[in-house]
């Protein structure tokens, strides 16, 4: 079995378990941790995660944040200045994070069934945008919108409760349930 086959099998085992109804928002977050080099293969396997979810009696939704930064930048009034001097963008990134949170919250609000699993794709696209743009901040700011479960597809590493996006920098300590390959 490949790493992604193992990840899918472990996800199936987890998603078929009974869901407690009295969990805090942070406890309704699942982190599907996989090797960054498996990103494209994982995207091809997303339909299998949807099928596994539906076979377990749950609904599936999906939010892809892969192109959010590019869309934000293309519409920004100072984009030409930022391209000429990229160091200037640091002050504007808080606005991007706010817009990203708003967009994800909006998409999650349409998925209000408590038995829905929402797959969050594209976490790696946030890497390298600076300390103001962190996946941890996004998850913490949208977790209260989750009606069912949020399945964050996480290209990186997990050890203990520590997650490292793309394995590159110090991670963050988060209480999500890890699903490992």
Give the tokens for residue 27: 């406890």
Q: How does pLDDT run across 88-98, given as a tens digit for each residue?
A: 777 788 888 99
Contact 46, 11 (CB under 8 A): no
Q: How does pLDDT run across 63-112, given as a tens digit for each residue?
A: 999 999 888 888 888 768 777 777 777 778 888 899 999 999 998 888 87
Q: What is the pLDDT of residue 169?
A: 62
Classify 116 in phi/psi space as left (phi over 0), alpha (psi -120 to 50) or beta.
beta
Burial 92-128 (b: 16+ CB within 10 A, else e): bbeebbeebbebbeebbeebeeeebbbbbbbbbbbbe
* Structural domains of the chain, ranges and CATH numbers in brackets: 3-14+24-180 (3.40.50)
Query: What is the mean pLDDT of the segment spanning 117-138?
Result: 86
Query: What is the mean pLDDT of the segment spanning 131-150?
Result: 87
Q: What is the pLDDT of residue 87?
A: 78
Q: What is the pTM of this model?
A: 0.91
**C-alpha torsion angle, residues 59, 166, 42, 98 (rounded to 10):** 40
């Amino acid at each position: 079995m490949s790493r992604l086959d193992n990840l899918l099998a472990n996800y199936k085992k987890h998603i078929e378990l009974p869901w407690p109804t009295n969990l805090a928002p942070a406890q309704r977050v699942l982190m599907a941790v996989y090797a960054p080099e498996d990103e494209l293969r994982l995207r091809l396997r997303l339909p299998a995660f949807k099928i596994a979810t539906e076979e377990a009696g749950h609904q599936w939704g999906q939010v892809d944040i892969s192109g959010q930064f590019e869309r934000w930048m293309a519409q920004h009034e100072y984009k030409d200045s930022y391209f000429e001097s990229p160091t200037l963008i640091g002050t504007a990134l808080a606005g991007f994070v706010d817009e990203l949170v708003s967009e994800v919250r909006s998409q999650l609000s349409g998925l209000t069934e408590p038995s829905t699993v929402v797959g969050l794709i594209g976490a790696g696209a946030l890497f390298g945008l600076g300390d103001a743009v962190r996946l941890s901040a996004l998850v913490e700011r949208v977790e209260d919108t989750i009606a069912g479960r949020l399945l964050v597809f996480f290209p990186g590493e997990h050890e203990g409760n520590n997650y490292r996006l793309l394995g590159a920098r110090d991670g963050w300590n988060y209480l999500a349930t890890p699903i490992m390959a």
